[in-house]
Amino acid sequence: MISRRQVQAAGVLVGLATVALAGYVVGFTDVLATIQTLSVRQTLVLVGIGLVPLGLWGVGLWLALDTIGATTALGRAVLLFCVSLFFNSVTPFGQAGGAPLSGGVIAQAVRTPYERALAAIGGLNAINTLATLCLWVLGGAALAASGETTGARGSVVVATIGVTGTAVAVVLGWRARETLAGFVTRALASTLAVAGRFAPRWSAPPATAVADRVDGFVAAIERLAASRRRLVGILCLVVAGQLTVVFVLYTALTFLSDPAFAAVLFVVPLSRTATAVPTPGGIGGAEALMTSLLVTVAGTSPVVAGAATVLYRVTAFWIPALIGGVGAAGLLLGSRR
C-alpha cells in the first residue's frame, strides 16, 4: 500500500522537477542576477506587503469563528489562519486538502467541535475562491476593454461561466442542504464502517454520531449565512486580501519593469488555479503558469517574468506558509504539554 507520505513526497519531487525545468528554460543565472538587482529595502517592502493578507484573512476567520459561537482572541485567529495556509501549502489540491487538517487544529485551539471549525475555515476558503474568480473576470474585462490582448476575451467568458456556475451550484446546494446532508451522512458512515473492519484497534463510529457531526456542520454554515453584516465584512476583508496579493506581484514587476496593473490583475487569479494540481501548494505548476502568463499576457521578458514569479511566490506564499508552519508546531507542542 502506498502511504500518504509517499504520495506527498512524489508530489514534491514532481513540483521541484517542474520548477527546475522552467528555470532551465528561462535561465537560472539570469533570473538570479535579476533578483539580485533589488535592494534590501525593496525586498523588505515585498515581504511586508506579502504579510498584509494574513492579517486581513485572519480577521475574517476571527469573525467567522465568533459568528458560529467559537469566540477566540484576534491574534490567535490570525495565527490559526497562518496554520491553515501552511496546511494548504504542504497538502495536494490546496485548500481542499488542507481544510480538514486546519479544521482539526482550529477545533483544538479554540475548544470547539470539529464540524464548527471546519465550517468556519471552509466557508472562508469558499469566499476566497469566489473572490479570486471575480477578480479574474475583472482583470480580463479590463484587458479586453483596453485591447491589449485578444486572449483576455475568451478568458473573461470562461471565468464568467465559472463564477456563474459556482454561484448556481452554491444556491442549488444551499436549497437542497438537508438532502445533501443525508447523502453525505450515509456515504461517510458506510466508508467509516468499511475502514473499521480493516483498521486495527479502531472501531467506526455509529451512524447516529456521524449524522450529528454533519448536522452540526450544516447548522454552523446556516448560522454564518444568517449573519448578513458579518458575511459582508468577511467578504470585504477577503477581497482586500486578494487585491493585496495582486499588489505584491505588481510591486515586484514595478521594481523590474513597467507592468500594466490590468494584466497583473488578470494573471494572479488565473495562476492561482495551479494550486489545484496534485502537488503540495501547487509547487511547480504555479511557477510555470505564472511565468508563462506574464510573458504572453503582460508582455514581460522571460527573465523578468521568472524573477517576478520567484519574488511573488516567496513573499506572498512561502514566507507566510513558513510562519504558519512555526505556528502549527507551537500549537501542537502546547497541546501536548
Domain housing 175: 4-336
Whole-angstrom CA distances from 324 to 195, 274, 317 are: 31, 21, 11
pLDDT tens readout for residues 141-199: 887 777 655 555 666 666 677 667 777 887 787 788 888 888 888 888 888 877 777 77
Return all residues near 163 (Cβ < 8 A) that are at least 6 apart. Answer: 130, 133, 134, 137
pLDDT tens series, the chain, 337 aa: 444 454 444 444 444 444 454 454 455 677 788 888 899 999 999 999 999 999 999 999 999 999 988 888 999 999 999 988 888 877 766 677 778 888 888 998 888 999 999 999 998 988 888 888 888 888 878 877 776 555 556 666 666 776 677 778 877 877 888 888 888 888 888 888 777 777 777 777 887 888 888 888 888 888 988 888 999 999 999 999 999 999 999 999 999 988 888 889 888 888 877 665 555 555 656 777 888 888 888 888 888 888 899 899 889 888 888 888 888 777 767 665 5
Whole-angstrom CA distances from 305 to 252, 259, 287, 321 are: 10, 11, 10, 23
Whole-angstrom CA distances from 33 to 37, 251, 254 are: 7, 18, 17
Cβ atoms of 262 and 148 within 8 Å: the answer is: yes
- What's the number of domains the chain is made of? 1
Q: Whole-structure pTM over 0.85, yes or no?
A: no
Whole-angstrom CA distances from 229 to 2, 26, 129, 232 are: 47, 48, 20, 5
pLDDT tens readout for residues 293-302: 888 888 888 8
The type of residue at 307 is A
Cβ atoms of 213 and 115 within 8 Å: the answer is: yes
Return all residues near 295 (Cβ < 8 A) that are at least 6 apart. Answer: 301, 302, 305
For residues 63 and 127, what is the distance between their CA atoms, to the nearest angstrom? 13
